[in-house]
Amino acid sequence: MANQGGNPNMQQGYGGAPPGQQQMMQGGMPPPPPGQPYVYTQGMPPPGQPYMQGMPPPGQPYMQGIPPPPPGLQNVQQQWVPKPEPITGVPPGLEYLTQVDQLLIKQQIELLEAFTGWETANKYKITNTQAQQVFFAAEESDACSRQCCGPNRSFTIHITDNMGQEVIRVVRDFKCGAGCPWCACIGALAHEVTIEAPPGQVVGYVRQGQSWCPPKYSIRDANQQEILRMEGPTCMITGPCCPNDIDFNIFGQDGTTEVGKISKQWSGMLREMFTDADNFGVSFPMDLDVKIKAVMIGAVFLIDFMYFEQNQNQRHHY
């Protein structure tokens, strides 16, 4: 179609309205003056006008009544690790552990506990280093033991996958008088957790060992054979002036070759002072048996209860 006035820039759909067209252009805009290019596109403001809040980005449909998300939050969403395929010889639900050498375990803050001091059952989110949730852990214990026995209480930690299926269970029995490292050579006085994967099938144990200083632990398989050794630091004092991670190093059977680590990470002054919600990292060899990886995850909960589960009014260590 010939352009009005022979202007080559006045092409339909770009340079302006065709001859005789009086209807509004797309987006409700009138046609531009003759000789002026039309550059407004669907969803964008007219030339020279600021972007109107509530308008969709270019190419996105407008959703009436729903304002756009705040800047920077458009892509924020809960991330979950997809369920892996079954692997022969690997306990159901532990297949993903064959693909990682590090996990993060973050205890959730309980507001009732933070404001009142009433000890509640712990909950933890277990993620990979990309913040994708792998497992969720929840403590089972009775209210009386939480208030009266504190961190020495018996507990069962149920660890579920993203489908809600329990894949690991960590159990600790109550032992009156347990905790003293000097007497840990006596089984009845040594803290110990039993790890089952799947529930009902024991895959290993973590047991407190006799020591003076630093604290020592034995990581064992289902037959009570020592596979790895764990040693904590001599000093576990942290605070605003010393915001350091607290490392429990994992060694091979020779006691000298370091193969992994469990770290209690500094969570910030307010969180450390007013809650007992802690963050941990656990690392292990990629090719380590997944059953022993599950046992090392269980070791995190034993460490948490023994050293970092104290109420904010009871900052004592064992």
pTM: 0.70
Assess whether pLDDT exceeds 50 at residue 16. Answer: no
282: closest CA among 267, 295, 269?
A: 295
Q: Which residues pair with residue 221 across a beta bridge? A: 204
Read off the pLDDT band of 229 (50, 70, 90).
very high
**pLDDT, tens digit, 9 for 90 and up, residues 50-97:** 444 444 455 544 444 444 444 444 444 558 888 889 999 999 999 999
Tell me the three state secondary structure of residue 114.
helix
pLDDT at 171 over 50: yes
> Rounded distance, CA 31 to CA 15, Å?
9
Residue 99: pLDDT over 50: yes
- Is residue 189 classed as helix, strand or coil in its secondary structure? helix
CA angle 253, 256, 258 (to 5 degrees): 85
Quick one: pLDDT at residue 24? 46
Query: What is the spatial distance between Cα 217 and Cα 181, in angstroms, rounded to a whole number?
Result: 10
Q: CB neighbours of 143 closer than 8 A, spacing ≥ 6?
A: none
Q: Which fold has domain 102-308?
A: Tubby Protein; Chain A (3.20.90)
Q: Are strands 258-265 and 155-160 parallel, antiparallel or unpaired?
A: unpaired
The string over 178-196, giving b where at least 16 C-beta atoms fall within 10 Å of a residue's C-beta and e elsewhere, is bbebeebeeeebbbbbbbb
Which of 58-72, 94-108, 142-156, 211-225 is least confident? 58-72
pLDDT at 206: 98
Written as six digits, the tokens of 291 are 């059953």
